[in-house]
Amino acid sequence: MKKTIMIVDDSILIRNEIGKILEGTDYEVVCQCRSGEEALETYEKIMPDIVTMDIILPGIDGLETSKRILNKHPKAGIVIISSLVYDKTLQVVKELGPAIPFVFKPINKPFFIESLKKVSINLESSSQIHSTQ
Amino acid at 107: I
- Report pLDDT digits (tens) over 60-98: 999 999 999 999 999 999 999 998 776 677 777 778 877
Question: What angle is formed at CA 64 by the lines to CA 44 and CA 26, rounded to 5 degrees?
Answer: 55
Q: What is the pTM of this model?
A: 0.89
Would the pLDDT of 133 be above 60?
Answer: no
Composition of the chain by helix, strand, coil, percent to 5: 50, 20, 30
- Distance from C-alpha of 3 to C-alpha of 103, rounded to nearest angstrom: 18
- Report pLDDT digits (tens) over 9-48: 999 999 999 999 999 999 999 999 999 999 999 999 999 9
For residue 97, is it left (φ>0), alpha (ψ between -120 and 50) or beta?
Answer: left
- Packing angle of the helix pair 62-72, 36-46 (nearest 10 deg): 30
pLDDT of 129 reads 47
CB 35 within 8 A of CB 60: yes
